[in-house]
Structure 1
Amino acid sequence: MTHTDARTVALYWHNGRSLGHTSRTAKVARYLLRSPQPYSIAGITGAYRGLDLLPPEVDLVKIPSFANFDDPSGWNLRPRLAMGTEALHQVRADLITTFLGHYRPEVLMSDHIPRGTDDELVPALEARYARHTVLSLRGVLFDRDKTLRKYFGDPGRGPWVLEHYCQFNVHTHPEVFDLADYYRIPREAADRLHYTGYLAEPFTVSRDEAREQIGVGPGERLVVAAMGGGQGAGDVWRALSATLHGRRGMFDRALLVTGPYLEPEDQRALRQLWESDSAVEIRAYEPGLLPWMRAADLFVGAAGANALGEVLATGANAIAIPRQIREIEQQVHAQRLHDLGLVRRAGLPDVLDGVLDRMIPQALDEPLTPDGTRYLWDGGSYDRHLPGPDGTACACTSARATGPVPGERA
């Protein structure tokens, strides 16, 4: 393959308190790289955990990171470097603009945030450094007012999004959640929606094969729990551990995957809780979680869009916990799948109040056997969800890369 043969793509994701943004982007990259069409793919991100999920063919432009925390007082964003917030955002915007001005991708895809954090994508988008632009959405966004304000309906921002994005790739299935109907978005925006299905494929390894693969005996009862990236999940882990301690006779083995963003003091506390029980393993991160989910008698996990897709892919008997404090996304999404009989849903306040004492024994005694494979990505090439050659038609009419290369004279 020569450079001129490859279709150039840039994938932007802002940062993340969890692994969801990174995981979704990595899956998109893997699907594109499986295509007969050669691709040159660049990732642009401030994420600082889970980057090993990316295929090795993806070149990474790492911009400075920030940490932020989901609590009732706000996001509490702070740079990880010793610099001010304003300087951080300016550096990030400058790096993004400079790179895209030179790379000039055929397709620029932004995960979830149309303008980028603190408008850091705006200069490159307005300079038209990419020929086609795609906004990828996880499905459920925010409440209706905030969603229309940030994306589609605000008199200033809505037209801007439509002017600068050809289409919106929705990584869920409309029978689970119809984004256009729920948010009552304008027709012009609804016409640009492309539902891809969940970014997960059916996990075809049998349960017995998965158990053999990870070393679980035929008669052993296995509980697996994972909280995505894990930031702010200390209270959930304490509540879950209290239930598992009290119901220790109901399972033989457990794997608890805290997430790499869990605060160090909570990570240490969880390990201390279980240090005397050799049958309970604590891992900060497990990139190969799907066999564990398939093998488990019960999976307890955060209700992020990525995790819910993997529950459907593995047919796991699952309890989903919406962990978000300030947003409704996980609550709505988990409730939709609960209503379809695909997961059990446990609200965060109820979890902290001890509801798992009742739900875990019930889930082990009366397991769900969900079949949600119809809602998954269909296994075809992701190319057809991209605008341009060999893909869907593009709604944008603006020409490619009208802006000058950064650092050169206009």
Structure 2
Amino acid sequence: MNSSLDVLIYAHDGRGLGHVSRSVGIGLALRRLYPRLSVLLVSGCANTAELIGDGALDWIKLPSYRTNVIAGKSSGVMGNSNIDDKLLGELRARNIRDIVDAYRPKVFLADHTPQGKHKELLLSHEVSPETVRVLGIRAVVGDVGKVWSEFSADVFSGTYSNILWYGDSSVAGSAELEHLAAHYGVVPHEAGYVSRLSELGYSGARSSAEKSLAGVISIPWSGEGTAVLMPKLAQALGGVDKSLGNWKIYMDLSKPDAEEVVHNFSSLEHVAFAQVGPQFLHDLSNARSALIYGGYNSLTDVMVCKVPSVVLLRGMKDGEQEEHAAILERKSAAVQNVFSDLDVTVEELRDSLRNCIDAEASEFSIKLDGAAEAARYLAALAGVSDVDCRF
């Protein structure tokens, strides 16, 4: 095979950071464990560079999708390129096809669906037939029609040969694995939870013995509940004793509504804001509590850092976050309380965060080395043995 690239990773984008964060974690693990492998990530996510941080992973930027969420249902709108969502999908499809045709990767890893967002991977399936195509699926899929459709199964059977499952059957049971195997006709390889933060930790970010922050709060993207939540959160943090320490809120400060959100906290000297980036790992590791949304990425972050956390849910129609958070609340001490972001009260926020500060997220036996396991699996498909692995 005339290949210029060992592994090409495609990251679904449009709303949150979970898809691209998983993809970055696997890319970083490939570069760490197999430094001679050539690896590229392709995504439209505008935050990709911040997620990679100082990691040794190169990437190709596509024009970004943008998604609005109303009543738990997402819909595409014009992104920063100001190109119609449907047209942008067609244009990106050509971009991705040209990238695959030019680099002829030995292995192609697609996150979430075999067809890609807006079916943008379909054109790329027409080139480089020698490429081994792998589908990566999160621990709990939820009721996502594009994953469970007959169309996705047909696309998979025509072009893909392998599935990586980013979950732990000892935690979630085997039902999801069995569902995936029945739908796609392939038994998935169980990798474990994929953590970008774990991989960034190898670049030198480590927690100190003394937890210096009272808590870290992550608002990775704004939804319809954000405007309701943030004033309540400001009241809740105003009711937490300042002597417990400072709080840091991570969010995308480039958004138009960011200034208004920050203004809610202007009188709270013990609360600071920061842009999403690699510093989040250090701060989360050094926090005694956290408040996060219940996406795969955030849940994995707090489990890796062993931080007792309050988990918020956005009420998405697919039900993935509700199901996943409920499973982990029973299995992981890192998930202390789960609330709806629209319905949670000031008192619930304040009391739950106080309780998290006093709690301990003790050791638990959840597989959190999924990035490294996925990297080994992909490297083997690219023809590299573990003899060449830098452990």
TM bracket, shorter-chain basis? 0.7 to 0.9
Please state how far the C-alpha of 1:130 moved relative to its aligned partner.
5.3
Length-normalised TM-score, structure 2: 0.84
In structure 2, relative to structure 1, the CA distance for the partners of 1:260 and 1:6 (3 Å cut) is farther
Please state how far the C-alpha of 1:370 moved relative to its aligned partner.
2.9
Q: Tell me if the contact between 1:225 and 1:257 (Cα under 8 Å) persists in the aligned partners.
A: yes
In structure 2, relative to structure 1, the CA distance for the partners of 1:102 and 1:73 (3 Å cut) is same
> What are the Cα deviations for residues 140-187 of structure 1, in whole angstroms up to 9, with x where unaligned?
1122xx4xx5335x4443233233222111222111224644763444
Q: What is the alpha-carbon distance in structure 1 between the residues aligned to residue 365 and residue 90 of structure 2?
A: 43
Matches within 5 A, 1:303-322: 303-322=294-313
> What are the Cα deviations for residues 290-345 of structure 1, in whole angstroms up to 9, with x where unaligned?
33223222111111111111211111111121234222111111111111142123
Q: 2:150 aligned with 1:150, yes or no?
A: no
Match of 1:372 in 2: 364
Question: What SS does structure 1 have at the residue aligned with 2:27?
Answer: helix
Q: 2:132 aligned with 1:132, yes or no?
A: yes
> What are the Cα deviations for residues 72-131 of structure 1, in whole angstroms up to 9, with x where unaligned?
274231222233333212211111111211211111111112201111101111444451
Matches within 5 A, 1:384-403: 384-386=376-378, 387-390=381-384
In structure 2, relative to structure 1, the CA distance for the partners of 1:313 and 1:341 (3 Å cut) is closer
In structure 2, relative to structure 1, the CA distance for the partners of 1:357 and 1:38 (3 Å cut) is same
Please point out which of 144, 156, 165 is paired with 1:170. Answer: 165
Q: 2:12 aligned with 1:20, yes or no?
A: no
Please state how far the C-alpha of 1:37 moved relative to its aligned partner.
5.9
Match of 2:285 in 1: 294
Q: What is the alpha-carbon distance in structure 2 between the residues aligned to residue 179 and residue 150 of structure 1?
A: 21
What is the aligned-residue identity percentage? 20
Question: What SS does structure 1 have at the residue aligned with 2:172?
Answer: coil
Q: 2:38 aligned with 1:40, yes or no?
A: yes
Q: Report the more deviating stretch, 202-211 or 122-131.
A: 202-211
Which has the larger Rg? Answer: 1
In structure 2, relative to structure 1, the CA distance for the partners of 1:132 and 1:295 (3 Å cut) is same
Which residue identity lines up with residue 271 of structure 1 in the other structure? V
Match of 2:87 in 1: 87
Q: Tell me if the contact between 2:40 and 2:60 (Cα under 8 Å) persists in the aligned partners.
A: yes
Q: Report the more deviating stretch, 352-361 or 291-300.
A: 352-361
Q: What is the alpha-carbon distance in structure 2 between the residues aligned to residue 7 and residue 38 of structure 1?
A: 11
Which residue identity lines up with residue 227 of structure 1 in the other structure? I
Structure 1 residue ranges without an equivalent (≥5): 393-410
Please state how far the C-alpha of 1:352 moved relative to its aligned partner.
5.3
Matches within 5 A, 1:182-201: 184-187=179-182, 189=184, 191-200=186-195, 201=198
Structure 2 residue ranges without an equivalent (≥5): 387-391
Which residue identity lines up with residue 389 of structure 1 in the other structure? G
Q: Tell me if the contact between 1:8 and 1:105 (Cα under 8 Å) persists in the aligned partners.
A: yes
Match of 2:355 in 1: 362
> What are the Cα deviations for residues 229-259 of structure 1, in whole angstroms up to 9, with x where unaligned?
4455333322222211133457331111124
Root-mean-square deviation (CA, aligned residues, Å) is 3.1
Match of 2:339 in 1: 347
Please state how far the C-alpha of 1:224 moved relative to its aligned partner.
1.5
Q: What is the alpha-carbon distance in structure 2 between the residues aligned to residue 5 and residue 126 of structure 1?
A: 16
